[in-house]
Homo-oligomer: A and B are copies of this chain.
């Protein structure tokens, strides 16, 4: 079956190689925000003859075509997600790194107003909230070290 992303690729007139089909499928099935290495891992599970260079070239191409969007949640790696119709922003759990999506309908208007006040027309925006899970009374949260480390998501040279 043809994946959603594959359909979009065809619509854009892209030549559909086996590799692209596989990557498109991985992207269509993803509900998170994988980085290139993760995409590569998932893709090679389905088809071993895909190189990481192809994954890089493909995400770049799909981004240029407006099919994918590149995100940066800190940590030095670009992460990707399919372009959605409904625009949304992200909240990152600083203890676990988990990403929660939310929409900010009412918000965008406020942002537009801010931009206009500064003499600009708002083209796009990036809003990321960093938060900590609120626990019920008495509930304990993860170790203190994690709490110290998390706020600055992994500095570049993090060993795997």
A residues near B (Cβ < 8 Å) are 60, 63, 70, 72, 74, 91, 93-94, 100, 102, 104, 106-107, 110-111, 114-116, 118-134, 151-152, 155
| Chain B residue nearest to A111 in the complex (CB) | B129
Contact (Cβ within 8 A) A118 B132:
no
30 A-B contact pairs sorted by A residue (CB < 8 Å)? A60-B155, A91-B115, A93-B120, A94-B123, A100-B118, A100-B120, A102-B118, A107-B114, A111-B127, A111-B129, A114-B129, A115-B129, A115-B131, A116-B134, A119-B133, A119-B134, A120-B132, A120-B134, A121-B132, A122-B129, A122-B130, A123-B130, A123-B131, A123-B132, A123-B151, A124-B130, A125-B127, A125-B128, A126-B127, A126-B128
Pick from A72, A93, A123 the residue with the most CB of B within 10 Å: A123
